[in-house]
């Protein structure tokens, strides 16, 4: 217990009890290129915090700084109350890492690897229990090189859990898995979070984030461009009205329908193959009168609205609003910081 008059220990200890990660004005450079430009955020103990962004946004550098593998060039980071570089030896046993590429010897088996890793910790999880937890009992004696992509991912999760970590870092945990394995892994991650494990998740699977995350941070070109719960992020986007009709509209009909929906800046644009459309230019959330106007206009012309969606954008749509240009550049193999084609990545 901290004495009431212990002013020096009080604030820091109180913060450490609530926050697992504290990043303040973090900056990182590689040569002349600044990868992180004043990044500030907290990860609360017991929450699942998702870190999103296109390739090159700074996610990997951020995670490596938290893990203690890289030093900051400016600002500060504390993880579980410790400096990840200076206190690395004390911090590493308290962090579990699940990486996309684990560097596991192809000749070893899941049981052998888990038993080896268990020796690195004072109070490890039981390897056989972990094999059961990640559904690898049948593959426990199979050489790593013969495991499927999903089995390798599940072994990576087991290795991250062997030391009973307080902070679990997951990098694309469901990559390479079939739908059933993905759902099982999501369930395991949700159970870990419910049990009080703090989880830092980086992924391109935005469905995982929407299902699992307590809060989401979106990085773009080394800057934090959004931070909040999935509901807060999707609710901050422009209101959306999407619908599908029984027959497509021509340009004149689209203009007439937009006028009936409110006129002014409202436009009707294609939103997918077939007769799928979206209203653009809504200044505020749709109300019942708008839906009535759309339905009435269609009824007068014998058109059936076969699908109607009114509300906030999905997390994927909101993410693309925030970093859409960089996602497009990423798809074309363009370096987001320099604008130069990534020839090696495109080859």
236-253 residue pLDDT tens: 666 678 899 999 999 999
Asked whether residue 117 is assigned to any structural domain, the reply reads: yes
Same domain as 127, residue 223: yes
Q: Give the pLDDT of residue 161.
A: 96
Low-confidence ranges of the chain (pLDDT < 70): 1-14, 100-102, 236-239, 263-264, 283-286, 312, 325-347
pLDDT of residue 236: 67
For residues 229 and 242, membership in a common domain is answered with no
Residues 181 and 255 in one domain: no
Residue 325, in any domain of the structure: no
In whole angstroms, what is the distance from residue 92 CA to residue 165 CA?
A: 9
Q: How far is CA 69 from the centre of its chain?
A: 21
Q: How far apart are CA 310 and CA 238, in angstroms?
A: 11
Compute the distance between CA of residue 20 and CA of residue 32 in angstroms, rounded to an integer.
31
Shared domain check, 175 and 286: no
Per this entry, what is the length of the chain? 347
Q: Is residue 110 assigned to a domain?
A: yes
Same-domain status, 216 and 282? no
From the list 216, 225, 228, 221, the residue with the least C-alpha distance to 28 is 221
- Does the residue 130 lie in any domain? yes
Q: List CB contacts of 107: < 8 A, sequence separation 6 or more.
A: 143, 144, 145
Bridge partners of residue 223, in order along the sequence: 220
Give CA–CA dist 254/301, Å, rounded: 12
Considering 201, 233, 265, which residue would you say is the last residue of a domain? 233
The CATH number for 121's domain is 3.40.50.300
> 17-54 burial, b if ≥16 CB within 10 A, otherwise e?
eebbbbbeebebeeeeebbbbebebbbebbbbbbbbbb
Q: Is there a single domain that holds both residue 242 and residue 211? A: no
What SS3 class is residue 186?
helix
User: Which of these three, 177, 201, 233, is where a domain ends?
Assistant: 233
In a domain, 328, yes or no: no
Note the pLDDT of residue 35: 94
- Whether 249 is in a domain gets the answer yes
| CA–CA dist 189, 187 (Å, integer) | 5
Domain-terminating residue out of 179, 204, 233 = 233
The answer to whether 261 touches 251, Cβ cutoff 8 Å, is no
Q: Which residues partner with 59 through β-bridges?
A: none
Same domain, 278 and 291: yes
- Give me the pLDDT at residue 283, please: 65
Quote the number of domains for the chain: 2
pLDDT at 167: 97
Instruction: Report the CATH number at residue 295.
Output: 3.30.70
- Reported as type and span, the H/E element at residue 61 is helix 59-67
Are 73 and 221 within one domain?
yes
Residue ranges making up the domain that contains 208: 14-233
DSSP annotation of 342 reads: -
pTM of the predicted model, to two decimals? 0.77
pLDDT value for 314 = 78
């Amino acid at each position: 217990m901290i004495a009431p008059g212990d002013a020096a220990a009080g604030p820091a200890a109180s913060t450490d009890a609530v926050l697992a990660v504290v990043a303040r004005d973090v900056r990182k450079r590689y040569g002349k290129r600044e990868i992180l430009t004043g990044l500030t955020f907290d990860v609360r103990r017991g929450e699942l915090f998702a870190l999103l962004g296109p390739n090159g946004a700074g996610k990997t550098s951020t995670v490596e700084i938290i893990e203690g593998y890289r030093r900051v060039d400016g600002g500060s980071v504390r993880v579980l109350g410790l400096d990840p570089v200076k206190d690395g030896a004390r911090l590493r046993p308290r962090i579990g890492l699940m990486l996309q590429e684990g560097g596991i010897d192809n000749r070893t088996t899941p049981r052998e690897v888990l038993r080896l890793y268990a020796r690195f910790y004072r109070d490890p999880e039981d390897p056989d229990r972990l094999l059961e937890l990640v559904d690898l009992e049948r593959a426990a004696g199979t050489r790593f090189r013969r495991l499927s992509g999903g089995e390798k991912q599940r072994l990576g999760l087991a290795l991250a859990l062997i030391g009973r970590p307080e902070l679990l870092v997951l990098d694309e945990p469901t990559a390479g898995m079939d739908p059933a394995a993905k759902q099982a892994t999501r369930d395991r991650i949700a159970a870990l979070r419910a049990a009080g494990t703090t989880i830092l998740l980086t992924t391109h699977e935005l469905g995982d984030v929407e299902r699992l995350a307590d809060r989401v941070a979106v990085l773009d070109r080394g800057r934090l461009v959004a931070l909040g719960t999935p509901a807060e992020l999707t609710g901050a986007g422009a209101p959306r009205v999407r619908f599908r009709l029984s027959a497509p509209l021509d340009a004149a009909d689209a203009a007439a329908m937009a006028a009936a929906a409110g006129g002014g800046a409202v436009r009707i644009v294609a939103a997918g193959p077939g007769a799928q459309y979206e209203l653009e230019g809504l200044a505020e959330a749709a109300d019942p009168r708008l839906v009535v106007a759309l339905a009435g206009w269609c009824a007068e012309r014998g058109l059936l609205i076969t699908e109607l969606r009114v509300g906030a954008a999905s997390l994927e749509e909101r993410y693309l609003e925030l970093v859409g240009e960089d996602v497009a550049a990423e798809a074309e193999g363009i370096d987001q910081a320099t604008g130069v084609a990534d020839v090696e990545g495109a080859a």
